[in-house]
Structures are given as C-alpha cells and as structure tokens.
Amino acid sequence: MNTGVVAGLFTGMQVGAAIFMSQLVVADAGVGLLGMMRYGIALIFLLPLVLARKTPPIAARDWPWILMLGTGQVGVMITLLNIAVLYTSAARVALIFATLPAASLCIDMLRGQVTGGRLSLLGIGFSISGIAVLVGHDAFAARLTADELIGMGATCAATLIVAFCSSHYRPFVVRYGGPKIGVIAFAASMLPLSLLVWLMPPGTALRQWPATTWWLVLTIGLSSGVGYLMWFHAIARLPATRVTGFLALNPVTAALLTLIFMGGEVTASLIAAVALVCAGIACFALSPPAKAPDPEPTPPV
C-alpha cells in the first residue's frame, strides 16, 4: 500500500482523536490558549527533526508563500473554527468542514492538478454522505439565526483556506521536507493564536489546572506534531483531493471515542455513517497513484 495512504488514514484518525480530547479540556484551557499550546508543543516536537536533517535552504522567493500557507493552514484555520463553534453547533461545523475534499477537488481541477480520478469522486460522495447521516439531522433541524450564519460562514472560510493550502503545499514539502515546513507553519501560526488568547482568555488559571488537563494538552500537542508529519508525507505523495478525503474519518473517530469513553447509544445513523465513510476511504485508498510531483516549488497562482 502507498505510504501516503497510510499517512492519510492516520491523519484522519488523529484529527478526530484530537477533537475528542480537546472537548475534555477546552473549558479549562480556553480555545485560544489550547490552540497556542497545542501547536507550540508540536513545534518543539518537530524542531529536533529539522535540526537533525539536512535540507536545502529555503529560497528567498519561497518564503512569502510558505509563511502564508503556514499561517493559513494552522493559525487562521483553527481561529476560524474556534470562532465558528461560538456561533453555531459543532454538528454544523463538522458537516460543512466535511466538504473539504470537494473544495480541494475544485481547486486542484482549476490548477490542472492530478485529482485521483473517478474513484476519488466516488469517495467524496460516500464520505460526505456519511458525515451528513451522522450530523445532518442535528445540523439542520433547527431554524438558522444570524449568529448561526456567521458561524457557518467562518467554517466555509476555514474549509476553503485548508483546501487552498493543501493544494499548494506539495512542491514546498517535496523540496524542503515535511518537518521544516511544519515548524515554519507552527511558528507562523503563533501570532493569530496569541491574538485569539487575548480575545478569549482561558476559563481557568494555569495553576489551577488538574493533572489530567496538563496530560491531555501534552498528548494533543504531541499527536498534532506527528499528525502534521503524516499530513505532509501524504501531501507529497498524493493529490490534495485524496489526502483531504481521509479527513472524513475525523468526525466519525471523534463520535466513536465519545461513545466508548463517555457513554452513549449505538444508533442506526452512527452505523450507517461509519459504513459510508469506510466505503469512501476505500475509494481513496484504491484510487490510481498520482504522477510524480515537480520537485521545484512554484508560487501559488
């Protein structure tokens, strides 16, 4: 099996696990400080890998694009999603964010990039259907208010930003390596995340955090560092459409972990959603391999 597929599967599950753990500590940490600590820990985790690995120095012409992509992929995206959940339900956010593969497909097609073929299209259909079954009723049963429209708009913006960054990251990751690009992305994200800490301070002072909160924050940060390594590995080997398709695993993973550790009912909608998402993931995994990417990074257009 293509190692990019394995990395994509891991990333999808890691994101879901991080969402599950985040909901356990967000009341203490606050959305801003949690994001800053999460990616700060991930940065510290990746830094030794960067120092130990010799890679070409980043060309001056590439710095603006790498910084922009890093800020968007990490800082702006997590800021928008954290704002979104203040205005609308997590169910709506999950459902809209599940359209990420479709957004990536559109951007890849506009750029003339390899998309993975018909199986990827089928995988997108299965995945979005599965997420819709899982959260669709809760998402759209209620009447939409102005606040909810703001939250949904922020989620749409976050989805488009991740799709854009995923489509344009590949040449830079191929040339400079995932760890170096990851460190730059996390460092660039510190500014928007620090502003988020100022706007939404933690609910509990750090000295009052229980030990479980500290351990969960550490686990979230370390898993994010590993997750981004896997993400960049997949981006370097697969079309962005296929890689983002694996993220359909994240809401299902979060739902299953919630069911296992916090109790809950195994519903028909959960079973159907898992089956549909697994069918979609199988389509992404079986899609024909992409052509070898151009190792020379070019600015986004």
In terms of Cα–Cα distance, which of 258, 256, 261, 259 is closest to 278? 256
Confidence of residue 65 (pLDDT cuts 50, 70, 90): very high
pLDDT over 70 percentage in the chain = 87
* pLDDT greater than 80 at residue 90: no
How confident is the model over 152-170, as pLDDT tens digits?
888 889 889 988 988 888 8
Assess whether pLDDT exceeds 50 at residue 301: no
Helix (H) or strand (E) holding 255: helix 249-262
Predicted pLDDT of residue 137: 59
Going by pLDDT thresholds of 50, 70 and 90, the confidence category of residue 296 is very low
Instruction: State the helix-helix crossing angle for 178-199 and 77-87, rounded to 10 degrees.
Output: 40
Residue with more model confidence, 240 or 182 = 182
Task: Please indicate whether residue 91 or residue 73 has the higher confidence score (pLDDT).
Answer: 73
Question: Domain limits of the chain?
Answer: 3-286
| Element housing 227 (H / E) | helix 211-237
Output the pLDDT for position 144: 59
User: Per-residue pLDDT for 298 more than 80?
Assistant: no
Would you state the pLDDT for residue 290? Answer: 52
Q: What is the DSSP string of 149-191?
A: HHHHHHHHHHHHHHHHHHHHHHHHHHHH-HHHHHHHHHHHHHH
Of 15-24, 30-39, 133-142, 289-298, the poorest mean pLDDT is in 289-298
Q: Where does residue 117 fall: left (phi above 0), alpha (psi -120 to 50 degrees), or beta otherwise? A: left
pLDDT attached to residue 292: 44
Residue 115 pLDDT: 60
**Banded model confidence at residue 42, pLDDT cuts 50, 70, 90:** very high
Task: Tell me what the mean pLDDT of segment 220-234 comes to.
Answer: 91
pLDDT score for 1: 57
Cα distances (Å, whole numbers) of residue 296 to 100, 162, 184, 226, 242: 26, 22, 19, 25, 22
**pLDDT-derived band at 116, boundaries 50, 70, 90:** low
**Which whole number is the average pLDDT over 198-205?**
86
pLDDT at 41: 95
